[in-house]
């Protein structure tokens, strides 16, 4: 904080404005930021659910029911370019229909996209980083399996608020 000498008295910059007013503006901005982040998480969950629905319909009826834009939006467009690592992790998790560990995802990469996996020095660390980011984005949820191992599931799986119905005994990870 800047202080200035004025004659014999010291004037603080904070004396020029109402600190209480500034603190109120900061508090309101913080509340708005929290609200926007919550809305973003809810929107990302909804986007995930809609993408999963579209992908399921394409699995049932073939990609021909999707136009070019939808193929791109649900990461199914065969444009000769491999999808990004994050998109590929999303796709694997979305299509799994159950929680997957980082090792499970690495195994699926090895089956479907070994070249993409080979570009990473430490694939398990890369996959774990991406999965944790998907949790931050509100697209995935970290869960603990009965074995105590950590796994991740696509948020659309838990959107109903009902049990997972798969008997693996999952608990959210804080």
**For the chain, what are the domain ranges?**
3-33, 44-172
Nearest-angstrom CA–CA distance, 36 and 56: 30
Nearest-angstrom CA–CA distance, 49 and 129: 22
- In this prediction the pTM is 0.53
* Residue 61, pLDDT above cutoff 50: yes
The share of the chain scoring above pLDDT 70, in percent, equals 74
Nearest-angstrom CA–CA distance, 38 and 56: 27
Lowest mean pLDDT among 34-43, 51-60, 151-160: 151-160
The hierarchical CATH code for the domain 44-172 is 1.10.10.10
Q: What is the rounded average pLDDT of the residues 32-41?
A: 88
Nearest-angstrom CA–CA distance, 33 and 27: 10
Q: Is 83 helix (H, G, I), strand (E, B) or coil?
A: coil
Q: What is the pLDDT of residues 66-115, one digit of tens each?
A: 888 887 777 666 554 445 888 889 889 988 889 999 999 999 999 988 88
Degrees (nearest 5) of the Cα angle 90, 65, 155? Answer: 25
* Residue 167, pLDDT above cutoff 60: no
Q: What is residue 54's predicted lDDT score, i.e. its pLDDT?
A: 86
């Amino acid at each position: 904080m800047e202080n200035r000498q004025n004659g014999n008295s010291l004037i603080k910059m904070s004396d020029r404005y109402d600190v209480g007013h500034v603190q109120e503006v900061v508090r309101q901005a913080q509340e708005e930021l929290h609200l926007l982040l919550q809305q973003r998480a809810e929107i990302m969950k909804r986007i995930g659910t809609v993408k999963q629905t579209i992908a399921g319909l394409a699995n049932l009826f073939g990609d021909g029911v999707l136009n070019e834009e939808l193929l791109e939006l649900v990461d199914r467009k065969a444009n000769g370019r491999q999808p990004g690592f994050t998109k590929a992790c999303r796709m694997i998790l979305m299509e799994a229909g159950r929680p997957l560990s980082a090792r499970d995802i690495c195994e699926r990469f090895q089956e479907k996209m070994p070249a993409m996996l080979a570009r990473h020095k430490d694939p398990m660390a890369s996959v774990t980083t991406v999965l944790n980011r998907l949790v931050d984005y509100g697209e995935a949820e970290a869960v603990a399996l009965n074995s105590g191992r950590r796994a991740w599931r696509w948020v659309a799986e838990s959107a109903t608020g009902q049990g997972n119905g798969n008997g693996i005994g999952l608990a959210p990870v804080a």
